[in-house]
Amino acid sequence: MSTEYRVTRPARRRTLRASFRALGIAILLVLAAPFGVAVVSAKTNAAGVADAVSRTITQNLTQRGVSGSLFDVPSFLWVLTHPGGSGTKNLPGDRQRTMCRTIVQIGDSTSVGLDNSIRVPSPSDRMSSLFERVGVDTVYLNALNGRSVAERAGNGTTGLEAIDYEKSVGHDGCWIIALGANDAARISDGSAVSADERIDLVMRRLVGRPVLWPTVMTSHTAPDRYSIARMRAFNAALERATHRYPNLRVYDFAAHTDPSWFIDGVHFTSEAMIQRNRLLATGLAVEFPQR
């Protein structure tokens, strides 16, 4: 399953935002009136909320929504209830920029929904928006539940097959390989393909490309095959691989995680997905900085 997102240029957003400013105020008044919410009692407050509404409208008119529609309700409602934004925790710095202009991200279930309005209702915290913040122009996301590097989950594709597919349709540039948790579980189940071999199989397909591979982590409530110890063993293999592949950078995402980020010990809450997007954007800027 391949989901494609193209980042919209900021200049285009500013032009559309100006056009929808008035529309944002009108919609805000209509929605607030039945509840008696005095959201536009002051001119400055109205302008600020209208800007937020217009940003959401612009976002969803220039990028596909969760179901392929041109507008999605979760984003709109989120901006109405968070006019001040979502805070600054783990947000890339203003001067942090990456040399990467195109990103291809291959992931498992922890990447599904990173650019989805239902899982990440804040438009500015979705993967494409945060990658744009550090200088990325185009993002291709190929994520699938249960995916590992070498084994299929049901009728899905493996990580290797996903890489081959993206390359076959001309998607190339800098790569994020957000895999490893399911690989650690497969190894626990008795797979003959070791963590080192799995990483080698990926890197041999991406010779000469900048590759960012975030470390993996779970919490103490995860099933044994997804235990923290098994995640750390896979992360150790990633560190060893940096000595074999000069184009590989390992970003220690695991070091930033918190037990509260996990729903079931393995999968992330919506807030954690926001922080994951922010951390990976920072990782691109840190590991592959703009020269």
Mean pLDDT of 114-119: 88
User: Looking at the domain assignment, is residue 92 inside a domain?
Assistant: no
- Least reliable range by pLDDT among 78-87, 92-101, 277-286: 78-87
User: Looking at the domain assignment, is residue 97 inside a domain?
Assistant: no
Same-domain check for residues 144 and 202: yes
Question: In this prediction, what percent of the chain has a pLDDT beyond 90?
Answer: 64
How much is the pLDDT for 47?
Answer: 55
Q: Domain of 180: which CATH number?
A: 3.40.50.1110
How much is the pLDDT for 77?
Answer: 76
Distance of CA 63 to the CA centre of its chain: 15
- Least reliable range by pLDDT among 49-58, 147-156, 219-228: 49-58
Place of tokens 């409208």: 57
Q: Is the pLDDT of residue 49 over 90?
A: no
User: Looking at the domain assignment, is residue 87 inside a domain?
Assistant: no
Same-domain check for residues 133 and 229: yes
Mean pLDDT of 73-94: 78
- Least reliable range by pLDDT among 12-16, 55-59, 189-193: 12-16
Q: Global pTM?
A: 0.78
Confidence of residue 116 (pLDDT cuts 50, 70, 90): confident
Read off φ and ψ for residue 48, nearest 5 degrees.
Answer: -65, -45
How much is the pLDDT for 182?
Answer: 98
Mean pLDDT of 11-18: 45
User: Looking at the domain assignment, is residue 1 inside a domain?
Assistant: no
Confidence of residue 140 (pLDDT cuts 50, 70, 90): very high
**Reading across the β-sheet that carries 102-107, which strands appear in turn?**
3-6, 138-143, 102-107, 174-178, 211-214, 248-251
Same-domain check for residues 251 and 116: yes
Read off φ and ψ for residue 45, nearest 5 degrees.
Answer: -65, -40
User: Looking at the domain assignment, is residue 72 inside a domain?
Assistant: yes
Mean pLDDT of 167-182: 98
How much is the pLDDT for 72?
Answer: 66
- Domain coverage including residue 45: 8-81
How much is the pLDDT for 66?
Answer: 38
Mean pLDDT of 102-127: 93
Give CA–CA dist 276/266, Å, rounded. 14
Label residues 39-57 b or e (16+ Cβ within 10 Å = b).
beeeeeebeebbbbbbbbb
Same-domain check for residues 36 and 118: no
How much is the pLDDT for 18?
Answer: 47
User: Looking at the domain assignment, is residue 233 inside a domain?
Assistant: yes
Average pLDDT, the chain: 83
- CA distance readout (Å), 107 to 26, 116, 148: 40, 14, 8
User: Looking at the domain assignment, is residue 61 inside a domain?
Assistant: yes
Same-domain check for residues 75 and 118: no
pLDDT per residue as tens digits for the range 204-242: 999 999 999 999 999 999 999 999 999 999 999 999 999
